[in-house]
Amino acid sequence: MHLAIQEDMLPGKTALERFETAKTLGFAGIEVWGKGLTVRVPELAEAMEKTGVVISAVNHGRQGRLLDPDREQREMALAELRQSVVDGVDLGATGVILVPHFADPTLPDLTPYKSVVQLEYEMLHNHLRTLSDYVYAIGIDLYIEPVNRYETHFI
């Protein structure tokens, strides 16, 4: 079994130092955060090459609002997610980890037509239909991360 660790759990000022620590501790991979990842790709690629430790996954984190009522916000969130996917491919990661929504609902409650959660599930389903084609075409997986009830109502 191969084990991985989140990069920010490792000591070190540089990516190379953190990758060397991961290797010393017996980890085969490191999960990196998606925010600001594009500019770090060269540094991370060099650390992987020097240590043999791979990028196991990209954690998209709390970027964007996929389930926002504002279309512009949703489009921006999708663009950020697609960039995390591209960065993941560039780094050879197996997948990108996504939490669809943090915190309280932002969509209106349209009961009896549909509840907030029903609207959110339908919106997420529509996003995933196009995202699944995208990630499949470029050869990476998209992982939906379940988080606890203290971080989101959308479980």
- The contacts of residue 121 (CB under 8 Å, 6+ apart) are none
Q: What is the pLDDT of residue 34?
A: 97
* CATH number of 4-144, picked from 3.20.20.150, 3.40.50.740, 3.40.50.300, 1.10.1040.50: 3.20.20.150
Look at the chain and count its residues: 155
Going from N- to C-terminal start, the domains of the chain cover 4-144
Q: What is the pLDDT of residue 145?
A: 87
% pLDDT > 70, the chain: 99
User: pLDDT for 119-144, tens place per residue?
Assistant: 999 999 999 999 999 999 999 999 99
Q: What is the pLDDT of residue 151?
A: 78
Q: What is the mean pLDDT of the chain?
A: 94
Question: With bands split at pLDDT 50, 70 and 90, how would you rate the model's confidence at 150?
Answer: confident
Q: What is the pLDDT of residue 147?
A: 76
Check if the beta carbon of residue 48 is closer than 8 Å to that of residue 18: no
User: pLDDT for 13-69, tens place per residue?
Assistant: 999 999 999 999 999 999 999 999 999 999 999 999 999 999 999 999 989 999 999
